[in-house]
Amino acid sequence: MCSWTVGITVYVFEGNYDPKYLNLDPNDENSWKIYAEKVRDIMSKCLNIPKVNQGYRDAKKFKKAYQAQVKLLENFMHRVNVTTKKEQ
């Protein structure tokens, strides 16, 4: 029998993230960018992962091109008789 489990760690912040020290102007239309970057910093540190400048729009936009390149690489590796983790 197969059992699928996923372990997770949940980080709970008290209330909303309210960075008063940033002195954000609510009337400035670019304030959200500063706020978003600070949230990304916190998430990156908590998860111990690097920040990347790629979002869901990028993934959707380049999905077909990425899959095509992966397929070319897999075909090449098969021709030169290299095994991948997926094949082992």
Q: Is residue 35 part of a domain?
A: yes
Q: Is residue 15 part of a domain?
A: no
Q: Is residue 12 part of a domain?
A: no
pLDDT at position 85 is: 59
Q: How confident is the model at residue 16 (pLDDT cuts 50, 70, 90)?
A: low
The more confident residue out of 20 and 1 is: 20
| DSSP line for the chain | -------------SSS---GGG---TT-TTHHHHHHHHHHHHHHHHHT----S--HHHHHHHHHHHHHHHHHHHHHHHHTT---GGG-
pTM: 0.48
pLDDT at position 70 is: 87
Q: Is residue 5 part of a domain?
A: no
The answer, yes or no, to whether residue 87 has pLDDT greater than 60, is no
Question: Residue 70's domain spans which residues?
Answer: 20-87
Query: How many domains does the chain fold into?
Result: 1
Nearest of 54, 55, 14, 16 to residue 38 by alpha carbon: 16
The answer, yes or no, to whether residue 19 has pLDDT greater than 80, is no
Q: Is residue 75 part of a domain?
A: yes
Whole-number Å distance between alpha carbons of 53 and 77: 29
Which of 28-32, 55-59, 75-79 comes out lowest in average pLDDT? Answer: 55-59
